[in-house]
Structure 1
Amino acid sequence: MADPALSFVIERTGDLLIQKIAFLKDVRRQVERLRNDLVRMRCFLKDADQRQDEDARIRNWVSEIRDAAYDAEDIIEIFASKVEFIKDKGLVTKLTFYPLKFVNLYKIGKEIKSLQMTLSDIADSREKYGIKNLGEGMSTQGEELQRLRRSSPFNEDKDIVGFEEITKSLVAQLLKEDRNRRVVSIIGMGGAGKTTLAKKVITMLMSGRNSTAVLGMQEQDLEQRLYQDLQDKCYLVVLDDVWKEEAWDCLARAFPDVNTSSRLLLTSRNRDVAQHADALSKPLELKTLGQEDSWQLFLRKALGHGDNAGCPPDLEEVGREIATRCAGLPLAITVIGGLLLAKKKLKSEWEKVLNSFNTNLSKSQSGVSAILELSYADLPANLKFCFLYLGLFPEDHVISVRKLIHMWVAEGIMQKRDAVNLEETAAYDDVERLCSRNMVRVAEMTVDERIKSCRVHDLVRELAIRKAKDEIFFQIHDTRDDEISAKSRYLAVHSLRVKNYFGSLTPPLRSLLFFNIRIYEENISLRFKSFRKLRILDLENVEMYSNLPKEIGEVRLLRYLGLRGKLSIMHRFKIAHSVVLRITSTTRLPHSFGRLRNLQTLDIRTHATVIVPNFIWKLESLRHLYAYDMECDVPLKIEGLRNLQTLSGIRFDDIMHNNMLTLTSLQKLGIWVDDGSEIDKLCMHLSEVGSLTTLHLYSTRGRGRPTLAGLSKLHHVTELKLSGLWQMLPPDFPPNLSRLSLNHTDLTDDPMPVLEKLGRLHGFHQLKFLELGRLNHLDEIKAEKGALPQLLCVRIRNCGRLRKLPEELKHISTLDTLELVDMPKDSISKLAADTALSVPNLRIFDS
């Protein structure tokens, strides 16, 4: 499929036709015909994704089809949402609204007919404008990209820096005594130097030995020739840039495994390929170059000098900035260095290159740009759409994987696979696939080795933005000169311009995301009635001076609403010397929220208490409700929410007033308790909720300190979190507990004698992951000798006073990784130096 967005929209239109059949039966034939027209149109687009870069006519033609496909999906969903709104009303209301149903049917029929005429005109224009021969083979650009990929391994590059240690490790693996045929793999993102490193290793190993190249043979003949020639030999074969597991399976047949200690050196961007080729061999991941190595390579490429060559003083500052912008990618440094080598050695010339850095790379048809283009082209259609969505996030932004998954699901990118609510599982799998292909970088992992957050390399982000602008009507507003397009479907706002943000413009937005907007003299003016097609609205960390307007209830297709962070009413007072004081008070959600029947994720984790009208029980599609603290004038009704998986920030009394057995999908629950909360009764109330696996109990000063009891009734709970001023540990624990978290507690006794007796936690002799988080007064850790014999990873998060780890850690042979998260620079340097010789891997993360 040429166009990922168009492919999904056409598929979703078909799914909607099936799902909404009861509402659409009177216009079913028209909807079916519309979908068939789109499917027929898609047949002409086999190679359009390559051809449209060459021909503006093709690009515009594809854009028109895509626009029509989006409109088709919007028409059906908006109509269905109106009918669904009527169906749940009482008899009198239904009779009142009955004539409106016929009005809506007439309107949808009219809109579909108009779309069909548009598609007919688009089809006719293909011949009219000379758009021919689509789908008949690979375009010139496609052939050029393939040629580049094929030829790049043979290009000489003698300027190699920063690979000394990994080269030694590779050589050691290749020479390791083992009679079996083994595969040693180098993985890394495009441009990281995998091919260059492989060539260097082979040059070292093959010095003075014979090498053979076999060219110009058919695939089957080549396979047979290799297999016969290698039968009794100890061979070393390099397989460069193997992209897929199927490709390896085909290649592997040509290399006999006959106990001759043979080796294959494989390079790939995909970790899965490497592990599939040899599950017993750990792939060596090629990291990007460090700052100094990047600078040395840059000098060689930009100035043509050898080792330790200096840089003219007037060029050094701008040169280092250019090298930094290459983010440690050897291929990026090589491309930009080659550009500078051909220019005069003048500061003004280098500054021009710096200012147009991304533009130069994006227009290049070789080097980094072309290789990244090819990486994108190789993604399956659904991964292309997921990848393009990442371009909406700001440069260097740490992206929460959980949030990203909720957005992808809300957008309808994910499809259910084999059970209810498995879109989230599919979405996480796609995050892993993008990471394994090195299109996305892991920023932080959880203790059970799941990806918690990720980043996108700047050059990769530029590719996503470039592609997304054409393919999904995508726009980023990040300067005060930007104009919002009337065709924008996906809009990310990184800066504000005027008080009435959109003016009279009403683009057909599906996603509207705001990032770190600070509003002081102006407010965001969103005319919600105009955004009927909006599925995702993210206002995280946006400061607003009023509550959300009641018109939010008109956005009936909304599936994701993010209000996390600083969304609150901000009162401003002038005091002495014109200082402005802002006081945050509570936030109130309007009653119209009850109309958001498609809402899947509601994130209201603000710094203030959120007053919630008793509407949540109406949100039948709700899956995730995140809050720090919710308050309601009456007991908050949540019964019957069969899709609800996550509920946090709810109060004890609200839980006890609901039949929790009706929440059949509930997995994670966070509850505020105080000294009047009977925890034993709460546990009895929750004991039959078989889907519940994670329980988080919050207690703070002012609400008292309840006595923990009855937790042993919670057989299904495997993870328990206790936050707040708990003075004592519970007298009992859930019997199947495997994870326990204690945050900001006020324990007076040493908890370790109790904790190490927990059966499922296996004491500390079995502990493999240790995390110490947000311990502001921790300055020393004590560990007895032999206390942690199987420890693999230590993670230290936000422990600002900690400067030294216990000596005993240095003697744990299993310890592989030290992770420092949100730590001061001086702490990082001291801890890193302290463990440099004893811990193989040091990972540093910033939120």
Structure 2
Amino acid sequence: MHHMSKELESIRAALWNVGEVPVEQLNKLVRIWARDVRELSYDMEDIVDTFMVRVQGPDTPSKKSAKRFIKKLVNIVTKATTRHEIAQEIKDIKERVREVAERRDRYKVDAIKPVKTLVDPRISTLYTKATDLVGIDEAREELITRLTKGDDMSAQQQRVVSIVGFGGLGNTTLAKAVYDQLKVQFDCRAFVSVSQNPDLNKLLKNMLYELDKEKHANIHSTMLEERHLIDLIREFLQNKRYLIVIDDIWDMKPWVILRCSLQENGLKSIIITTTRILDVAEQIGGCYKMKPLTHDSSKKLFYGRIFGSEGKCPGQYFEVSEKILKKCGGVPLAIITTSSLLANKSGDIKEWNDVCGSIGSGLASNPSMDSMRKILLLSYYDLPSHLKACLLYLSVFPEDYVIEKNELIFWWIAEDLVQQEEENQCLFEHGESYFNELLNRSLIQVADRYTDYTISSCRVHDMVLELICSLSREESFVTTVLGDTSRQCMPSSGSTVRRLSLQNTTWPKTEMSKLRSITIFNPAIINKMPSLSICHLLRVLDLQDCNLKEHPSSSFVGNLFHLRYLSLAGTRYAGELPMGVGKLQFLQTLMLNGTKIEELPPSIVGLTQLMFLWVDSCTSLPNGLRYLTSLEMLGRVTVDSACIAEELSHLKQLRILSVNLTTEKEGRWDENMCTAFVRSLGKLHRIQDLMVHSDCVAANLEGSVESLGNLRYLFIHRTTSLPTWIRPAILLHLSSLEITVVQVRREDIQVLGRLQALRHLHLTVYGRRQVRLERFMVSPDAFPCATTCIFSKLAMVPSTFPPGAMPRLKNFRFGIQLEDFSQGEFTTDDLALGHLPSLQYVQVYLSGRWKVSEEVVTKVKEMLRHEADVHPNHPSLSFYDDDF
């Protein structure tokens, strides 16, 4: 087994080296050899996993460092039958390794060198005609305004804008358009490209040549050091107003050098950079995020290039054109490439449908899409190997699918795609850094955020997804089965199906014994699902939303001892969870929300590697919750006794906790349970998100809590009053607070105003009628970061917040007691929306309308409309009757 581990380590290194070279540059023999080696690595991993399950028990290899793992394998003693079976498998693998090595030597694979691509696929964007630029007018004018106008303090200073967006979105085109329009206003100018592997000496020479072609005509033939070149550029620019575009920056190293040469000379010079990396853009400064073309601009560009205008397009082409435009997703390069391909096919609707289908097959089957593919591949090949695998895993998902971030990271962990660099490292947080890096590189997009503004989900642009599917098919990474032929990620010849994404209604006829992952996106397929008991290597089983009422538990649990991820969410599962789930000692994620399972079996407390457990609020857990010490996310757990509440204190790794406080015994609320729960919170030092639901208005969450320094999001539904542990000195990172209280005091508002990181506040007073808050005023520095404030069933007026308070507030919802105006307690001076400089949206709830005349209602509305009209931002204003 020691030999096996060493061989596997070498194979992974070889595959990593091959993966660094674009597939188009690899000889076919090298591709075949890489495919064979990849299959060998999969089989070796299967043998190691099987050995660990049979022999070592629940402590998985991913939890150990490489050295300790190998030592364990060498020293372990096992049964004779297991030794014999494993030995035979190792013998077979060694024979296959020898055969692959002999083929490599026989056909001299090592002697075949990759052919370098000499033509930069992006170069054509620099020579696009101005008349061909569609949809960038608004962006161009916005950038020009940002670069040429501003306050007097910065009027003489150098200005920088960094354009960021994924490949094909038009970063370079926009930079060139701005450059062409502004260049006549400057003494000198230069447009230089950095690329992925820049030669800084050559780059500096290129800049000198661009700045003065006559003086530096022979600069490239000179032998000058970088320092000397920087001095020459600085000297040249010393008394000149310059315009410099630095295109396609991939990391900060070249920018640091180039920045040294672009000195500030007080002449209103301009620097424009482009990049695909968000971090790079933000570090450079002046970040401008590219947006896809609108649908109207996309149509104008598409139809204009083919027919001259949309009006000249024959009616039979509209439907397929809309499908094509949707797949292009507003990416100018994709639209231009596709429309150029179709320009000579305007007489055959079948050819249009064929092109539409070819776009959906991964960009690989049509030579005309080659430029688009190469541009996107630049981003892919710039990824480290572990991120390439994580990106390829996204080929599991259908087009336009919203991917939940937490679930995706646990998928990666279950597949061992998250590399553990230190023994005690939090795998989820490491996986989260992978997710953020893919976002940073513009390869995935934010789909939605939580109220604390952290990202909750992502999606993959159609064009990026098509590339991923193409690469996934080439590497036999994921097998995707659809109901049609628009996008099939089937494995290459000679490869085994390892990961299966089912998006059709028919179970495929495929060998299942090597399956590691099954994800079902069409619930109808469950009616034809075979027994999965033969899938003994299965790590991931996602049956979310499938109807399991007609399927016995053995059909999907069986002997799946390798299982790491099991989702039955939304399956309307019939009956109790089988006791057999306690045998899944490697299980890390168990999602049971939406199953209506009333009780979990006692054996579940033996799943010591479980990190993510989510159940229905009606599901009760057995005693022994304290033993699930690996849990990082737990919800929505019913806490119905002081005993269960106390057990939570032992789950030291918890970062997300959702509980349902639901105990009411003999007509009385169990205060001991609440006390025990608050005491447990004081021991959970890593909690970031906390959600507390209470079935009783008498729930009292008072107590001493000193450990919530990492809390970002807090949700409490029904408590007697604002808990005293919600204190600015403790909750330094609290970004979002949603709380329903029975009573609110003016000092509560003052406490909330001192929460320095708070961006979202939703304070609700429990009850049917709106409650009037005693008149008071917070300090001028209150709510420094708040962008949204919602006061539900709480009568307030904006004068509660004086000038200086809530400087960033955009969304404001509050209530007004109309009778206070009818009695003359408030006047127009009290409706000072002008105190809130960032205001954009205002919602006002008018309470007690039945107590006042219509004249008072009209007057109040007119006063508020006047406040909105004279506000510099002219915020939108909405009125609602009564409470909300």
* TM-score of Structure 1 vs Structure 2, range by shorter chain: 0.7 to 0.9
Decide whether the 8 Å contact of 2:160 with 2:286 is kept in 1.
no
Decide whether the 8 Å contact of 2:807 with 2:838 is kept in 1.
yes
Asked if residue 256 in structure 1 is aligned to residue 266 in structure 2, the reply is no
Of 290, 293, 300, which residue of structure 2 is paired with 1:289?
Answer: 293
Which residue pairs with 2:578 in the alignment?
A: 590
Which residue type is aligned with residue 566 of structure 1? T
Q: Equivalent residues in 2 for 1:641-660 (5 A)?
A: 641-653=628-640, 656-657=643-644, 659-660=647-648
Which residue type is aligned with residue 813 of structure 1? P
* 1:65 CA displacement: 0.3
Decide whether the 8 Å contact of 1:667 with 1:693 is kept in 2.
yes
Which residue type is aligned with residue 631 of structure 2? L
Which residue pairs with 2:587 in the alignment?
A: 599
Cα distance change on mapping 1:54 and 1:393 into 2, 3 Å: same
CA distance in 1, matches of 2:348, 2:426: 58
Asked if residue 81 in structure 1 is aligned to residue 29 in structure 2, the reply is no
Which residue pairs with 2:857 in the alignment?
A: none
Which residue pairs with 2:91 in the alignment?
A: 113
Which residue pairs with 1:64 in the alignment?
A: 36
Which residue type is aligned with residue 405 of structure 2? V
Which residue pairs with 2:699 in the alignment?
A: 707
* 1:457 CA displacement: 0.5
Decide whether the 8 Å contact of 1:537 with 1:561 is kept in 2.
yes
* 1:83 CA displacement: 1.4
Which residue type is aligned with residue 555 of structure 1? L
* 1:69 CA displacement: 0.7
CA distance in 2, matches of 1:507, 1:342: 48
CA distance in 2, matches of 1:630, 1:431: 33
Q: Equivalent residues in 2 for 1:825-836 (5 A)?
A: none
Q: What TM-score, normalized by structure 1, do the two folds share?
A: 0.78
* CA-to-aligned-CA distance 1:443-463 (integer Å, 9 cap, x gap): 123344432211100010010
CA distance in 1, matches of 2:247, 2:784: 39
Which residue pairs with 2:505 in the alignment?
A: 496
Which residue pairs with 2:721 in the alignment?
A: 729
Which residue pairs with 2:521 in the alignment?
A: 515
Which residue type is aligned with residue 509 of structure 1? L
CA distance in 2, matches of 1:412, 1:226: 49
* CA-to-aligned-CA distance 1:683-740 (integer Å, 9 cap, x gap): 235434444454432234xxx555324344465374675566x374356444434366
CA distance in 1, matches of 2:104, 2:181: 56
Which residue pairs with 1:126 in the alignment?
A: 104
Give identity over the alignment, percent.
26
Which residue type is aligned with residue 116 of structure 1? K
* CA-to-aligned-CA distance 1:318-351 (integer Å, 9 cap, x gap): 4344333321111111111111222335555544
CA distance in 1, matches of 2:748, 2:58: 57
Cα distance change on mapping 1:818 and 1:282 into 2, 3 Å: farther
Decide whether the 8 Å contact of 2:362 with 2:470 is kept in 1.
no
Which residue pairs with 2:72 in the alignment?
A: none
* 1:380 CA displacement: 1.6
Which residue type is aligned with residue 626 of structure 2? E
Which residue pairs with 1:627 in the alignment?
A: 615
* CA-to-aligned-CA distance 1:285-307 (integer Å, 9 cap, x gap): 110111111111112212246xx
Q: Give the match's secondary structure for 2:258.
A: helix
Asked if residue 526 in structure 1 is aligned to residue 524 in structure 2, the reply is no
CA distance in 1, matches of 2:449, 2:473: 31
Q: Which sections of structure 2, spanning at least 5 residues, go unmatched?
A: 61-75, 190-208, 757-777, 814-829, 844-867, 877-884
Q: Equivalent residues in 2 for 1:175-190 (5 A)?
A: 175-176=148-149, 177-190=154-167
Q: Give the match's secondary structure for 2:57.
A: helix
* CA-to-aligned-CA distance 1:206-237 (integer Å, 9 cap, x gap): 23766563577268476565344323322111
Decide whether the 8 Å contact of 1:553 with 1:593 is kept in 2.
no
* 1:782 CA displacement: 7.7
Decide whether the 8 Å contact of 1:810 with 1:838 is kept in 2.
no
Q: Give the match's secondary structure for 1:615.
A: helix
Q: Equivalent residues in 2 for 1:274-313 (5 A)?
A: 274-277=281-284, 281-304=285-308, 310-313=312-315
Decide whether the 8 Å contact of 2:362 with 2:467 is kept in 1.
no
Which residue pairs with 1:580 in the alignment?
A: none
Q: Equivalent residues in 2 for 1:84-233 (5 A)?
A: 84-85=56-57, 101-134=79-112, 136=113, 139-140=114-115, 142-144=116-118, 147-150=120-123, 152-156=125-129, 158-176=131-149, 177-207=154-184, 213=210, 217=220, 220=225, 223=230, 225-233=232-240
* 1:476 CA displacement: 0.8
Q: Equivalent residues in 2 for 1:400-549 (5 A)?
A: 400-417=404-421, 420-479=424-483, 487-497=496-506, 501=507, 505-518=511-524, 522=527, 524-528=529-533, 530-545=534-549, 546=551, 548-549=553-554
Which residue pairs with 2:678 in the alignment?
A: 683
Q: What TM-score, normalized by structure 2, do the two folds share?
A: 0.75
CA distance in 1, matches of 2:683, 2:725: 16
Cα distance change on mapping 1:608 and 1:335 into 2, 3 Å: same
* 1:68 CA displacement: 0.7
Of 653, 659, 666, which residue of structure 2 is paired with 1:665?
Answer: 653
CA distance in 1, matches of 2:233, 2:291: 33
Asked if residue 271 in structure 1 is aligned to residue 278 in structure 2, the reply is yes
Which residue type is aligned with residue 253 of structure 2? E
* CA-to-aligned-CA distance 1:148-199 (integer Å, 9 cap, x gap): 2355434545312222332222223332545444421111121111222112
Of 755, 762, 771, which residue of structure 2 is paired with 1:761?
Answer: 755
CA distance in 2, matches of 1:128, 1:613: 58
* CA-to-aligned-CA distance 1:520-563 (integer Å, 9 cap, x gap): 8x2533323x2222222212112211453287262222222222
Which residue pairs with 2:254 in the alignment?
A: 247
* CA-to-aligned-CA distance 1:789-843 (integer Å, 9 cap, x gap): 32355499xxxxxxxxx99879843358999xxxxxxxxxxxxx999994999xx
CA distance in 2, matches of 1:590, 1:373: 46
CA distance in 2, matches of 1:313, 1:807: 56
Decide whether the 8 Å contact of 1:589 with 1:610 is kept in 2.
no
* 1:32 CA displacement: 4.6
Q: Is the radius of gyration larger for structure 1 or structure 2?
A: 2
CA distance in 2, matches of 1:293, 1:751: 53
Cα distance change on mapping 1:319 and 1:698 into 2, 3 Å: same
Which residue type is aligned with residue 433 of structure 2? D
Of 554, 560, 567, which residue of structure 2 is paired with 1:562?
Answer: 567
CA distance in 2, matches of 1:751, 1:456: 47
CA distance in 2, matches of 1:517, 1:551: 15
Which residue pairs with 2:390 in the alignment?
A: 386
How many matched pairs?
Answer: 741
The more displaced of 650-659 and 61-70 is 650-659
Which residue type is aligned with residue 207 of structure 1? V
Of 807, 816, 821, which residue of structure 2 is paired with 1:790?
Answer: 807
* 1:760 CA displacement: 5.0
CA distance in 1, matches of 2:254, 2:750: 49
Cα distance change on mapping 1:227 and 1:368 into 2, 3 Å: same
* 1:397 CA displacement: 0.7
Which residue type is aligned with residue 53 of structure 2? S
Cα distance change on mapping 1:689 and 1:289 into 2, 3 Å: closer
* CA-to-aligned-CA distance 1:472-506 (integer Å, 9 cap, x gap): 43111222788986711111111231xxx466832
Which residue type is aligned with residue 693 of structure 2? Y
Cα distance change on mapping 1:815 and 1:513 into 2, 3 Å: farther
* CA-to-aligned-CA distance 1:91-147 (integer Å, 9 cap, x gap): xxxxxxx9962321232222122212111110111233453424x4xx33x415x52
Cα distance change on mapping 1:834 and 1:38 into 2, 3 Å: farther
Which residue type is aligned with residue 206 of structure 1? K
CA distance in 2, matches of 1:326, 1:483: 19
CA distance in 2, matches of 1:355, 1:87: 47
* 1:46 CA displacement: 4.1
